[in-house]
Structure 1
Amino acid sequence: MTPPTPSKRPLWTVVVTLLLGAAALWGASRLVWSAQLREAGVRGTLLETQTGAQHSGALVPLALLGVAGVAGSIATGGWPRRVLGVILAVAGLWACWIAVDGVSFGGFPAGAPVWQVFTGRGLALLGGILVLLGGLMAIKNAGAMPRLGARYAAPSGQKTARDPDTELWEALSEGEDPTDR
């Protein structure tokens, strides 16, 4: 009896979740995260904004880690996939912390892109949650997902039951006398 082949659905779920999380983190790094008025001397007061990447330099590397997690989830299996899942879960928690750290719901200067601030932080929170979920699913389903190259692994030592006539012909082909058994 051959062992059941792993289902590809959990693997595709992890891959899609990590890709969506990485895209959300990258998108959040491009939006405005904070706006404040700054005194500019002769020019008066200026509205100074910071993007997510300027506010926290970790957003883009966390997005890249999510993309690398896709490759790692496909290529590994067993314990290495579980370790990768733990790393991704911690990265997702870190992205969530970055998204909510220092958020302010009021006190925006006139002309500030308030919708971008909340959209940017919301996308970062969503991306962090998706990377966290992808990591947790990789941990939970590490043994149930197929891995790269598993098709080419050496067969187990146990032989499957075959047709007796086929075994006789194969013994003759190998140069053995099947009647000596």
Structure 2
Amino acid sequence: MVALLVAAAAALGGASGLTWDAADDLDGGDVVPALVPLALLCLAAIAAAVALGGWARGALGGAVLLAGVAAGVQGAGADGPPTGRGLVLAGAALVVAAGALLLVRGAAMPKLGGGYRAPGAVERTADPERELWNALERGDDPTDRD
């Protein structure tokens, strides 16, 4: 997912820097103004995907997928050289693939700090009797109700 989004950001950013209309001296960012923001969105989505978990990661996947579709629509409708349009469409396809991957496999991906617990955190179980034994093993008095 990270590689897809990095490649998509490179493709969209590269397409924005290409000269699309030499007669009017327009580059891709002038013809399709959303290219640079979409490239930045790809990079921000990497950090967000690592930090988020659960339903929020799925919502991010949906937003990334929709952004990829929007980039594809803008790239297909833009007047410009085949190289620029091709980069936009390739970048859009990569963004769509990354969004779909987040939707389908996002819950199984590791979360930032997911393997850590706060120092001194007490492990809770569903069994109240096991809780008493855990307290005794820690050296706590399970009958102390302060």
Q: Quick one: structure 1 residues 120 and 80, their matched pair in 2 at CA, closer, same or farther if it must change by over 3 Å?
A: same
RMSD: 2.2
Per the TM alignment, residue 156 of structure 1 is displaced from its structure 2 partner at its CA by 5.5
Whichever residue aligns with residue 73 of structure 1, its letter is A
Q: Find out whether 1:174 has 2:139 as its counterpart.
A: yes
Q: Distance in 2 between matches of 1:91 and 1:175?
A: 53
Q: Which has the larger radius of gyration?
A: 1
**Alpha-carbon shift at residue 50 of structure 1 (Å):** 1.4
Could you tell me how far apart the structure 1 residues matched to 2:78 and 2:88 are? 13
Check whether the contact 2:68–2:94 (CA below 8 A) recurs between aligned residues: yes
Q: CA deviation at 1:27?
A: 0.4
* TM-score, L = length of structure 2: 0.79
1:62 partner letter: L
Q: How do residues 152-163 of structure 1 correspond to structure 2 at under 5 angstroms?
A: 152-153=116-117, 155=123, 157=125
Using the TM superposition, give the Cα deviation of residue 103 of structure 1 relative to its aligned residue in structure 2, in angstroms: 3.9
1:34 aligns with 2:21: yes
CA contact (8 A) 2:65 2:96 kept: yes
TM-score for the superposition, normalised by structure 1: 0.65
Name whichever structure is richer in strand by fraction: 1
| Residues 45-95 of structure 1: per-residue CA shift (max 9 Å, x gap) | xx2231110112110000000000000111111100000011100110111
* Partner AA of 2:33 in structure 1: G
After TM superposition, the structure 1 = structure 2 runs for residues 96-115 of structure 1, keeping only pairs within 5 Å, are 96-103=72-79
- Is 2:13–2:36's contact at 8 Å kept on the other side of the alignment? yes
Task: Tell me the amino acid that sits aligned with residue 34 of structure 1.
Answer: D
1:120 Cα deviation from its structure 2 partner:
1.1
Find 1:76's aligned residue among 52, 66, 69. Answer: 52
Return the letter of the residue paired with 1:78: G
Amino acid at match of 1:130: L
Q: Which has the higher contact order (CA 8 A, sep 6+)?
A: 1
Q: Which amino acid aligns with 1:157?
A: T
Partner of 1:23: 10
1:145 paired with 2:109, answer: yes
Aligned length: 130
Q: Name segments (4+ residues, structure 1) moved above 4 Å.
A: 153-156
- C-alpha change, 1:102 and 1:19, in structure 2 (3 Å) is closer
Write the distance in 1 (CA, Å) between the matches of 2:43 and 2:57. Answer: 15
- Percent of aligned pairs sharing the same letter: 38
Counterpart residue number, 1:119: 83
Kept after mapping to 2: 8 A contact 1:79/1:142: no
